[in-house]
């Protein structure tokens, strides 16, 4: 099953595709968040990938101002594209990604030492 994922930002919106069968996700583009072109670009992505669901990153308990905009964005997505929309708690996701990359670099370094 294909899922479209959005990382909503005031200036840009990150877009990724997730494929649940192979448990993989890939960032595909960033969209400039301008009213006159935003929904046409999102529509093109939805039409091309034909996702079953939409996931939108939502930072619970942080920055109430942006959360209102994300909720409005998710509501419009649901109505415009007739898809299930899920808000995903992305609190601390940047820190998790940094830790993951740090561990990955250590493993690569250890692997290099082992086979040198």
Q: Could you tell me the residue ranges of all domains in the chain?
A: 2-114
pLDDT at 20: 87
Say if CB 59 and CB 91 are below 8 A apart: yes
Which residue bears the tokens 């069968």? 21
CATH architecture of 2-114: 2-Layer Sandwich (3.30)
Nearest one of 98, 54, 49, 45 to 73, comparing CA atoms = 54
pLDDT at 59: 82
Between CA 7 and CA 90 the distance in angstroms is 9
90 versus 72: which is more confidently predicted? 72
For the whole model, what pTM was predicted? Answer: 0.75
pLDDT at 23: 84
pLDDT at 89: 84
**Residue 55, exposed/middle/buried by CB under 10 A (0-12, 13-18, 19+)?**
buried
């Amino acid at each position: 099953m294909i899922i479209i994922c959005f990382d909503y930002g005031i200036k840009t919106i990150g877009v990724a595709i997730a494929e649940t069968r192979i448990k993989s996700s890939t960032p595909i583009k960033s969209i400039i968040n301008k009213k006159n072109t935003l929904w046409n670009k999102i529509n093109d992505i939805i039409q091309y990938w034909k996702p079953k669901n939409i996931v939108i990153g939502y930072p619970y308990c942080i920055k109430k101002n942006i959360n209102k905009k994300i909720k409005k964005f998710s509501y419009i997505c649901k109505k415009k594209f007739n898809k299930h929309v899920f808000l995903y708690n992305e609190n601390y996701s940047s820190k998790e990604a940094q830790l993951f990359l740090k561990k990955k670099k250590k493993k690569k370094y250890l692997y290099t030492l082992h086979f040198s």
